[in-house]
Amino acid sequence: MRFMRFAPGASGRSHTLFAVTRCLPFLVLAAVLSIELSPVHTLYTGPLLSPAPALAAVTMGPFGTGGVALLATAVSAITATHNNVWGSEMVYANLLALLVVALASVATSAVRVRRDRELAQIRRIAQVSQNVVLRPLPARIGVVNTASVYLAAERDAQIGGDLYEAMCTRYGVRLIVGDVRGKGLAAVRSAAAVVGAFREAVHYEQDLAEVMHRCAAALAREYELLDRSQLQDPQELAEQFVTVLLAQVSDESLVELINRGHPPPLVMRERKVRSLDPARPLPPLGLEEFLSPPPICVETFPFLPGDRLLLHTDGVVEARNHYNEFFPLHRTMETLDGATPGEYLDRLRHALVRHAEGRLADDAAMVLIERATGGARRPFR
The residue ranges of every structural domain in the chain are 2-126, 137-371
Angle at which helices 62-82 and 8-37 pack, to 10 degrees?
20
Render each residue's pLDDT in the chain as its tens digit; 381 residues.
Answer: 554 544 444 455 677 888 888 999 999 999 988 888 887 666 778 788 999 999 999 999 999 999 999 999 999 888 888 888 787 888 888 899 999 999 999 999 999 999 999 988 887 887 777 777 788 899 999 999 999 999 887 555 456 688 999 999 999 999 999 999 877 777 888 999 999 999 999 999 999 999 999 999 999 998 888 755 555 555 555 568 999 999 999 888 999 999 999 999 999 998 899 999 999 889 999 887 777 777 888 999 999 999 999 999 999 999 999 888 999 999 999 999 888 999 999 999 999 999 998 788 888 999 999 998 654 444 444
Distance CA 153, CA 172 (A): 33
Global pTM value = 0.74
> Which superfamily does CATH assign the domain made up of 137-371 to?
PPM-type phosphatase domain (3.60.40.10)
CA angle 366, 370, 374 (to 5 degrees): 175
| Strand partners for 147 | 368
CA angle 318, 320, 324 (to 5 degrees): 120
Helices assigned H by DSSP within the chain? 8-37, 51-59, 62-82, 89-133, 184-201, 208-224, 314-317, 329-335, 341-356
Give the pairing type, strands 272-275 and 266-269: antiparallel
DSSP code of residue 156: -
